[in-house]
């Protein structure tokens, strides 16, 4: 899909990858809808992006997600693109995964994207056109200690994405999953970390991985929208790990 003139809803647009996607799609001529909880940040970003529309949205609240799509339709009359990007990490070894924390994460990282997909589908099906991109994680391709909870939810999101792509391809709708690698955003500081994981990190000392800029992931998300590829990796070598 060519994004020029299209209406694109981006969740988690107040920071990191979502903000980079909003800037890139706007630059390419899309009309962007900015969704997140930090309304002041969205409004400030919106001032820089002509024709954009900011909507305060908590992606753990079904009513907020329904409202996001309803207001988008009222404002623009349509929705062409959904980027399910809002999310948070949770590092805990299997024996210490806290179920309340896990269920909260499930709500944000999996149920929220599913509800958003369900809300945009009637409009995309009617116009026989749409592009949906779900932001998973490279951890979903690996078996990293301490990431069982988070990576299992991101695997489930990939599962929904790939099945949805099969179900919807005859409706002119592409559904893609993108696997970012470690990306330079607020993700790490927003990640919930268990006691053992924090202790382990202190023992391990400084770790200095090569980190991607959010613009790189935004380019890959644009590629997913433009090509409709069901699976996109931040780096091609990531696909060889499956
Ligand atoms: N950075 C990485 O290394 C990395 C790697 C793989 C995958 N990812 C995935 O990439 C996505 C974006 O993360 P990021 O790296 O850009 O991190 P980030 O800078 O922390 O951004 C997270 C975004 O999600 C939003 N968000 C969090 N809770 C929300 C809620 N309840 N309702 C609505 N929005 C919410 C935040 O906005 P508010 O706080 O304003 O609501 C923010 O805009 C996530 O799904 C993450 O799992 C990141």
The C-alpha atoms of residue 74 and residue 71 are separated, in whole angstroms, by 5
The rounded Cα 167 to chain-centroid distance in angstroms is 20
- Please state, in angstroms and as integers, the Cα–Cα distance from residue 142 to each residue in 75, 147, 156, 239, following that order: 41, 9, 14, 11
The answer to the question of residue 242 being in a domain is: no
Backbone angles phi, psi at 188, to 5 degrees: -60, -45
Q: What is the pLDDT of residues 73-125, one digit of tens each?
A: 999 999 999 999 999 999 999 999 999 999 999 999 999 999 999 999 999 99
3-state helix, strand, coil in the chain (%, to 5): 55, 15, 30
Question: Considering all CA atoms of the chain, what is the largest pairwise distance in Å, rounded to the nearest integer?
Answer: 56
Cα separation, 42 vs 80, in Å, equals 20
Output the pLDDT for position 202. 87
Residue 75 CA, ligand 1 centroid: distance in Å: 25
Helix and strand numbers (H, E) in the chain are 9, 9
150 tagged catalytic: yes
**Ligand 1 atom at minimal distance to the Cα of residue 89:** 47
Lowest-pLDDT choice from 5-19, 44-58, 165-179, 208-222: 208-222
Question: What letter would DSSP give residue 94?
Answer: G
**Which pLDDT score is estimated for 51?**
96
Testing ligand 1's pocket by substitution, the residue of 11, 12, 90, 181 carrying the most ligand atoms inside 8 A of its CB is 12
- pTM, to two decimals: 0.98
Q: Report if residue 81 sits inside a domain.
A: yes
Report if residue 1 sits inside a domain. no
Residue 234 has a CB neighbour count (10 Å cut-off) of 20
Instruction: Considering the candidates 90, 150, 181, 233, report the single residue annotated as catalytic.
Output: 150
Which comes out higher in pLDDT, residue 219 or 209? 219
pLDDT value of position 223: 98
pLDDT digits (tens, 9 = 90+) for 157-185: 999 999 999 999 999 999 999 999 999 99
Please tell me the total count of domains within the chain.
Answer: 1
Residues within a 6 A CB radius of ligand 1: 11-12, 14-18, 36-38, 57-60, 85-89, 108, 135, 137-138, 180, 182-183, 185-187, 190
User: Domain for residue 84, yes or no?
Assistant: yes
For residue 19, which atom of ligand 1 is closest to its CA? Answer: 43
181 vs 47: CA distance, rounded Å:
30
Nearest-atom number in ligand 1 for the CA of 13 is 43
Residue 90's contacts (CB-CB under 8 Å, 6 or more residues apart) are: 97, 101, 102, 105, 149, 150, 191, 192, 193
**Substitution candidate for ligand 1 out of 13, 15, 116 with most atoms within 8 A of CB:** 15
Q: Find the 13 Cα to ligand 1 centroid distance in Å.
A: 8
User: If you take atom 6 of ligand 1, which residue's CA is the nearest one?
Assistant: 137
Whether 227 is covered by a domain: the verdict is yes
Residue 132 sits in which domain range?
7-234
For residue 160, tell me if it sits in a domain: yes
Q: State CA 49 to chain mean position distance.
A: 20
pLDDT at 242 over 60: no
Site to probe by mutation for ligand 1, drawn from 23, 84, 87 as the one with most ligand atoms within 8 Å of Cβ, is: 87
Evaluate whether residue 2 is within a structural domain: no
In a domain, 241, yes or no: no
Average pLDDT, the chain: 96
Write the CATH number for 215: 3.40.50.720
Please count the CA atoms within 13 angstroms of the CA of 105 that sit on its side-chain side: 25
Cα(222)–Cα(81) distance, integer angstroms? 11
Place of tokens 């799509």: 69
In this predicted structure, the answer to whether residue 240 has a pLDDT above a threshold of 90 is: no
């Amino acid at each position: 899909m060519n994004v020029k003139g299209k209406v694109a809803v981006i969740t988690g647009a107040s920071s990191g990858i979502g903000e980079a996607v909003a800037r890139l799609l706007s630059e390419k001529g899309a009309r962007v809808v900015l969704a997140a909880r930090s309304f002041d940040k969205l409004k400030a970003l919106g001032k820089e992006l002509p024709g954009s529309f900011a909507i305060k949205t908590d992606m753990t609240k079904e009513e907020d997600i329904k409202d996001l799509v309803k207001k988008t339709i009222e404002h623009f009359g349509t929705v062409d693109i959904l980027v399910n990007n809002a999310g948070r990490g949770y590092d805990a070894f299997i024996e210490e995964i806290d179920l309340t924390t896990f269920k909260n994460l499930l709500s944000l990282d999996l149920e929220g994207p599913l509800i958003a997909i369900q809300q945009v589908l009637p409009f995309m099906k009617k116009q026989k056109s749409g592009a949906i991109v779900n932001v998973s994680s490279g951890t979903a391709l690996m078996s990293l200690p301490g990431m069982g909870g988070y990576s299992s939810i991101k695997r489930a999101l990939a599962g929904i994405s790939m099945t949805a792509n099969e179900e919807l391809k005859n409706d002119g709708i592409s559904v893609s999953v993108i696997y970012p690698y470690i990306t330079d955003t607020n993700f790490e500081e927003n990640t919930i970390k268990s006691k053992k994981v924090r202790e382990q990190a202190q023992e391990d000392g400084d770790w200095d991985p090569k980190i991607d800029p959010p613009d790189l992931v935004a380019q890959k998300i644009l590629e997913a929208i433009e090509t409709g590829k069901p699976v996109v990796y931040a780096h091609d070598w990531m696909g060889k790990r499956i």
